[in-house]
Amino acid sequence: MISLEGIRFGYDAAHPVLTGLDFTVQPGERVALLGGNGAGKTTLLHVMVGLLLPQAGRVTAFGAERRKEADFHEVRARAGLLFQDPDDQLFCPTVGEDVAFGPLNLGRSRAEARALVTQTLARVGLAGFEGRITHKLSGGQKRLVTLAAVLAMEPELLLLDEPSNALDEAARERLLGILAGLPQAMVIISHDQDLVERLATRRVVLSNGRVENSDA
C-alpha cells in the first residue's frame, strides 16, 4: 500500500529525524510503530501522507511514486490519518459538519455525505450526535468523532497516532473494540502495550531515524 525507501527528513539540518528509513505497509497488516519519545514516529506518518515532504528518498503509495504536494491528494483520500490530539483535527462547529467535511471534499453530494455521517456515527456508538457542539464533548467523545471523520472518507489504510491517549478506561475499551472490528490495514503509534497486543499483527521499532528491528 505504501513503501518508503531511503527517507531522510529533518526540521533543521543539525537535527535529522529520519536518516535513510525504509518501511512498507502491506494490505491487511496492522503494524505497531514503536519507539521512544522524539524518535520520529509522528513525523513518519506525516511523510506517508505528504504533510511533510522528505528531503531524500522515495515515497510510493497505492502504486505510484509521490513527490509533490499534488501527488498526495489521492493518498490522503485513501489513507486516513488520526491525529494524536483530537483538538488538532476537529475544527467545525458541530459533529455532523466535522464528519461530513471529508466526504464533501472528496466530491460526495450533500445527501451522500449526510448518509455517511449517520452511518459512521452509529458505527462508533455516537448515533444522534450530528448536532452536538464539538468543543463541548468529552475527550473520549472527541476521539470517537475524529475516528468517525476519518472512517467517513472510507479509507483503505488507517494511520493512528496514539489513538488511546488520555482516554478513561471505558472510552479506551470502546475505541479498542471499534478498531478491532475494522477491516482496514493500520499503522498504529502507541505506548499502550495492551492496545498493541490486541491489534497489531507486526511490530517495528523506530530508532536513530530508521526502522531497526521488527517481529512478525
Q: What is the reported pLDDT for 165?
A: 83
Are 40 and 211 a contacting pair, CB within 8 Å?
no
pTM of the model: 0.90
Per-residue cell: 123: 458505527
Name which of 164, 156, 151 is nearest 98 in CA terms.
151
Work out how many domains the chain is built from and give that number.
1
Q: Is 110 exposed, middle or buried (0-12, 13-18, 19+ CB in 10 A)?
A: exposed
pLDDT per position as a tens digit, 173-215? 888 998 999 999 999 999 889 999 999 999 999 999 999 766 6
Question: Cα separation of 81 and 204, whole Å?
Answer: 19
Task: Give the phi and the psi of residue 82 in degrees, each rounded to 5.
Answer: -100, 110
Largest CA distance in the chain: 51
Beta bridge partners of 21: 7
Residue 213 pLDDT? 65
- pLDDT tens digit sequence for 29-67: 999 999 988 899 999 999 999 999 999 999 999 999 999
Q: What is the rounded average pLDDT for all residues in the chain?
A: 91
Q: What is the mean pLDDT of residues 89-101?
A: 93
Please answer whether residues 30 and 199 qualify as being in contact, where contact means their C-beta atoms are separated by less than 8 angstroms.
Answer: yes
pLDDT digits 0-9 by tens, 118-172: 999 998 889 999 999 999 998 889 989 999 999 999 999 999 999 988 788 888 8
CATH number of the CATH domain containing 170: 3.40.50.300
Domain range for 45 is 2-215
Burial pattern 47-58, b for ≥16 Cβ within 10 A else e, equals bbbbebebeebe
